[in-house]
């Protein structure tokens, strides 16, 4: 059995780098159609990106899992028609709108279900699998025990995020802009609106929570990054088919380095499981060394129901 290493590139040039270090598949998309993308690929860039990925024998997935209101639907239909022409390996969706459009417009692409917080049991995986989603991207708020049970009972593929930030909160409201307006600091809106370098600071815990706004609203991210490289053996042996590195709010260099480390760890596991057991702490230490300043790494929800 093999496992797929899924990455989130930030640019066309970054795709080449990630191909060279062993990434298997790439999550692409445009901000207003996909949630919390590491990098944005407009239509022509998306076309070029998919061509590059396919030429390298890798897989390209287009994320279309934003929260869509009625006034989004006309544009969404046209976007999905365009994506269909590009022949991606799958479209990532979050709710039934995409399936409805796909059927009504006679579109032909494979589906992966990623509703962020809702994929928490095998029944849901099988429900959407029976309606066309060959893979479910599991909720980040699951324990390791829950993940292994879902993987065992799902009739379809499951994906688990093993590296990167977790989203703690999303609102369609522009909370940062509203805060500056309420504080009578309108000049800050022009300076910081859309910035991805803001954070909420908890003095009691000395923790920084990245916060940013985009066309999907306001997003508050976790203070720490999940790093599950020590548990690849458990995840793979339980039947997890895809391991995702989420690079949102990270540099291209960092994403590439982390991808290299995970590639080496996965390859070693399949080559020599005993050697992986001996060296998995070293892989963890390698990521510890390159982690961004002010950001610790931990196991997220793997061993506890809540965090932060």
- Distance separating alpha carbons of residues 308 and 306, to the nearest angstrom: 7
User: Could you tell me which residues come within 8 angstroms of residue 216 by beta carbon, excluding any fewer than 6 positions away?
Assistant: 31, 32, 35, 36, 66, 67, 170, 172
- Once rounded to an integer, what is the mean pLDDT over residues 134-142? 95
Q: What is the pLDDT of residues 261-271, one digit of tens each?
A: 999 999 999 99
Q: Tell me the HSE value of 128 on the side-chain side, using a 13 A CA sphere.
A: 30
Predicted local distance difference test score (pLDDT) of residue 308: 47
Higher pLDDT pick, 289 / 307: 289
CA distances from 74 to 61, 81, 180, 214, 288 (A): 22, 11, 33, 20, 45
The interaxial angle of helices 252-271 and 273-290, nearest 10 deg, is 170
How do residues 68-125 score in pLDDT, each as one tens digit? 999 999 999 999 999 999 999 999 999 999 999 999 999 999 999 999 888 999 999 9
Least confident of 9-13, 157-161, 218-222: 218-222
Grouping H, G, I as helix, E, B as strand and the rest as coil, residue 136 is strand
- pLDDT, the chain, mean: 90
Q: Percent of the chain, pLDDT > 70?
A: 90
Percent of the chain residues past pLDDT 90, beyond the cut: 73
pLDDT band at 6 (very low <50, low <70, confident <90, very high): very high
Tens digit of each residue's pLDDT (9 = 90 or more) over 277-290 = 999 999 999 999 99
pLDDT given for residue 222 in this prediction: 85
- The β-bridge relationship of strands 225-227 and 133-137 is unpaired
On whether the CB atoms of residues 255 and 10 are closer than 8 A, the answer is yes
> What average pLDDT does this structure show over 124-151?
96
8 A C-beta contact, residue 6 and residue 244: yes
| Each residue's pLDDT tens digit, 22-75 | 999 999 999 999 999 999 999 999 999 999 999 999 999 999 999 999 999 999
Q: For residue range 164-186, what is the model confidence (pLDDT) as tens digits?
A: 998 888 777 776 666 566 555 55
């Amino acid at each position: 059995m093999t496992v797929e290493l899924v990455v989130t590139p930030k640019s066309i040039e970054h795709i080449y780098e990630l191909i060279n270090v062993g990434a298997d598949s790439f999550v692409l998309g445009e901000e207003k159609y996909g949630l919390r993308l590491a990098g944005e690929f407009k239509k022509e860039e998306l076309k070029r990106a998919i061509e590059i990925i396919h030429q390298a024998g890798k897989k390209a997935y287009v994320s279309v899992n934003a929260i869509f209101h009625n006034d989004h639907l006309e544009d969404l239909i046209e976007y999905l028609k365009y994506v269909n022409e590009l022949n991606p390996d799958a479209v990532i969706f979050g709710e039934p709108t995409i399936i409805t459009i796909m059927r009504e417009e006679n579109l032909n692409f494979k589906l992966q279900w990623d509703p962020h917080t809702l994929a928490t049991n095998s029944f849901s995986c099988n429900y959407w699998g029976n309606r066309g989603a060959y893979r479910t991207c599991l909720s980040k708020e699951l324990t390791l025990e829950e993940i292994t049970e879902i993987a065992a009972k799902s009739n379809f593929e499951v994906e688990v995020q093993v590296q990167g930030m977790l989203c703690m909160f999303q609102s369609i409201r522009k909370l940062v802009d509203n805060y500056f307006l309420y504080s009578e600091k309108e000049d800050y809106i022009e300076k910081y609106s859309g910035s991805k370098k803001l954070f909420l600071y908890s003095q009691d815990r000395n923790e920084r929570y990245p916060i940013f706004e985009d066309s999907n609203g306001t997003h508050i991210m976790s203070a720490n990054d999940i790093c599950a490289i020590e548990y690849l053996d458990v995840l793979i042996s339980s039947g997890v088919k895809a391991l995702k590195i989420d690079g949102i709010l990270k540099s291209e260099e960092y994403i590439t380095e982390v991808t290299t480390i995970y590639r080496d760890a996965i390859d070693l596991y399949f080559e020599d499981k005993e050697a992986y057991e001996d060296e998995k702490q070293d892989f963890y230490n390698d990521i510890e060394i390159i982690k961004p300043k002010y950001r610790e790494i931990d196991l997220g929800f793997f061993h506890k129901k809540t965090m932060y």
